Structure 1
Amino acid sequence: MQKRLIALTRLWAFDQLSSHPAGIGQPPWDAHGVDDYLPAATTTGGGENTTEPLAE
């Protein structure tokens, strides 16, 4: 998701530099921060393997 948001920001920036801008609006995460637009970071229990073991 972060790569997609960066790509959209770059598209907006390029449009601003273009001789014939398409009128792409500034992404809201560019002014307010990207944290609200990214999924929550997943945390694990201290690096422990939570996968159920295979049957013996």
Structure 2
Amino acid sequence: MLATGIALALGSLQALWPVALVAVVLVIRTQLEDKTLQRELPGYAEFAARVRYKWIPWIW
């Protein structure tokens, strides 16, 4: 979010492309990590069922 704010504050819409790319990579990595943890870490599935949001409360 900081990088997005900086890009907008500077008026550089081109700087938003790397921010979007990093956001997509983080979403993919989070999903892969969650699947791995549910498969390999005992008790993680119960934890994930209790905690609804991964990154941003009330959104995702």
Q: TM-score, normalised by structure 2?
A: 0.33
Greater relative contact order, per chain length (Cα 8 Å cut-off, separation 6+): 1
Name the structure with the higher helix share: 2
User: Rg larger in 1 or in 2?
Assistant: 1
What TM-score does the superposition give when structure 1 sets the normalisation length? 0.35
